[in-house]
């Protein structure tokens, strides 16, 4: 996060318990507060992880106090499939900036948008990449979501879980407000506009080099 913070085109950050666990973070609070201290001027989203809405609310209020640039990620439902709409409304009315995450359907957007619209700046995080994993084209739904949010300027749409650099261009084409991109994908930005003949030759060379390194013979 600190490495990419130095890039002016990176406008904010988000994480979740899964990513933090993979990164070896042992102390959630200590890590988050250290990051907020280092990155005080761009939005950062941290997620609650309780099953019970009462505990979620306690965690959300705790997280919101970590910094003025912090957004609290609330899943669209808990692990029992119970909608989080009422909790989102309470937090929004309390002035807490909420990022509603793990959204995958238009019905979920319709369910939670009125609650989020009652508060300060907020995000609807739609996992377009996961939708694509199921064989569905996410572009029509994401484009419709952009239009649905237009009467609510305090709520922005996030294209979450992209799978390829093309998703960045798709999100931009429909006017999506934010796209979250992993570090691995960001590194591929240098390929944008690359000559395809040159890229083809490099690919052939890669196959040849790997065959030699492996000592293959026929």
Average pLDDT, the chain: 97
Is 196 within the bounds of a domain? no
Kindly report the number of other CB atoms within 10 A of residue 104's CB atom: 19
Predicted model pTM: 0.93
Q: Give phi and psi for 175, each to the nearest 5.
A: 85, 20
Is 218 within the bounds of a domain? no
Is 205 within the bounds of a domain? no
Is 107 within the bounds of a domain? yes
Residues with a known catalytic role: 73
Instruction: Give the contacts of 168 (CB within 8 A, at least 6 positions apart).
Output: 162, 179, 181
Is 202 within the bounds of a domain? no
CA distance 7 to 13: 12
Is 208 within the bounds of a domain? no
CB-neighbour burial class of residue 115 (10 A; exposed 0-12, middle 13-18, buried 19+): buried
The range of the structural domain enclosing residue 97 comes to: 2-191
The model's pLDDT over 75-122, given as tens digits with 9 standing for 90+, comes to: 999 999 999 999 999 999 999 999 999 999 999 999 999 999 999 999
Is 55 within the bounds of a domain? yes
Structural domains of the chain, count: 1
Do residues 128 and 160 touch, judged by C-beta distance below 8 A?
A: yes
Nearest to 39 by CA among 58, 19, 11: 11
Is 210 within the bounds of a domain? no
CATH number for the domain that contains residue 33: 3.20.20.70
Instruction: Give the contacts of 1 (CB within 8 A, at least 6 positions apart).
Output: 13, 15, 35, 39
The model's pLDDT over 2-21, given as tens digits with 9 standing for 90+, comes to: 999 999 899 999 999 998 99
The model's pLDDT over 148-188, given as tens digits with 9 standing for 90+, comes to: 999 999 999 999 999 999 999 999 999 999 999 999 999 99
């Amino acid at each position: 996060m600190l490495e990419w913070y130095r890039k002016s085109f990176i406008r904010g950050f988000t994480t979740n318990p899964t990513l933090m666990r993979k990164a070896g973070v042992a102390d959630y609070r200590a890590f988050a507060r250290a990051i907020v201290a280092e990155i005080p001027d761009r939005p950062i989203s941290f997620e609650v992880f309780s099953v019970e809405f009462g505990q979620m609310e306690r965690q959300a209020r705790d997280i919101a106090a970590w910094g003025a640039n912090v957004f609290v990620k609330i899943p669209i439902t808990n692990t029992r499939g119970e909608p989080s709409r009422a909790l989102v409304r309470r937090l929004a009315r309390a002035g807490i900036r909420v990022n509603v995450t793990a959204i995958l359907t238009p019905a979920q957007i319709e369910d939670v948008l009125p609650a989020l619209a009652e508060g300060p700046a907020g995000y609807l995080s739609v996992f377009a990449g996961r939708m694509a994993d199921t064989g569905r084209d996410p572009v029509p739904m994401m484009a419709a979501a952009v239009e649905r949010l237009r009467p609510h300027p305090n709520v922005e749409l996030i294209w979450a879980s992209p799978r390829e650099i093309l998703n960045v261009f798709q999100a931009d084409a429909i006017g999506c407000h934010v796209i979250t991109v992993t570090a691995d994908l960001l590194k591929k930005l240098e390929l944008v506009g690359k000559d395809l003949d040159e890229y083809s030759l490099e690919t052939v060379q890669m196959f040849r080099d790997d065959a030699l390194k492996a000592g293959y013979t026929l």
